[in-house]
């Protein structure tokens, strides 16, 4: 690889990095009002105003659901609390299922250790239809 090739590679890398940074900043300026309750920093606000005025930026804002200033921001604390409560509920349900499964397994093992006459009595009691 000669110096000319390495220089071209460095220029390509620098341009790619610049495009990535500009794209990320433009995306952040469009998504900020949707996810943050805090005011947009001035530099990001200026970028947002510029991006929203371009045809591509306006279209992208519409696709992302942030076309106007009348946006209801998400409260990340509420989102986190909701996610945590869902996780806790799921864990509680799964724990209950596991506990009941183990309880029934142990009960079945204890019944199997009994003499067959007593097993039949217990099965008859367990399978007896309930009174209406």
Same domain as 83, residue 55: no
| Residue 97: predicted pLDDT | 92
Residue 33, domain extent: 3-64
Q: Evaluate whether residue 70 is within a structural domain.
A: no
Residue 84 covered by a domain:
yes
What are 34-78's pLDDT values in tens digits? 777 778 778 777 877 777 777 777 777 777 776 555 444 456 677
* Residue whose pair of structure tokens reads 């409560």 in the numeric block: 85
60 and 108 fall within a common domain: no
Q: How far apart are CA 70 and CA 37, in angstroms?
A: 12
Please give the model's pTM, rounded to 2 decimal places: 0.38
* Tokens 């039949």 belong to residue: 120
Q: What is the pLDDT of residue 98?
A: 93
Could you tell me the two tokens for 11? 């220029």
| 85-118 residue pLDDT tens | 888 888 999 999 999 999 999 988 998 899 988 8
Residue 132 domain-assigned (yes or no):
no
Give the number of domains in the chain: 2
| DSSP tag of 8 | H
């Amino acid at each position: 690889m000669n110096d000319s090739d390495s220089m071209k590679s460095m220029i390509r890398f620098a341009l790619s990095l610049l495009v990535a940074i500009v794209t990320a900043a433009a995306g952040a300026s469009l998504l900020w009002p949707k996810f943050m309750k805090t005011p947009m920093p001035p530099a990001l606000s200026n970028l947002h105003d510029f991006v929203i005025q371009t045809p591509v930026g306006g279209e992208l804002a519409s696709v992302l659901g942030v076309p106007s200033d009348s946006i209801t921001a998400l409260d990340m604390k509420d989102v986190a609390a909701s996610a945590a409560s869902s996780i806790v509920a799921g864990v509680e349900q799964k724990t209950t299922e596991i506990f009941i499964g183990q309880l029934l397994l142990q009960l079945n093992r204890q019944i199997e250790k009994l003499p067959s006459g007593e097993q039949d009595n217990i099965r008859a009691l367990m399978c007896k239809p309930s009174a209406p």
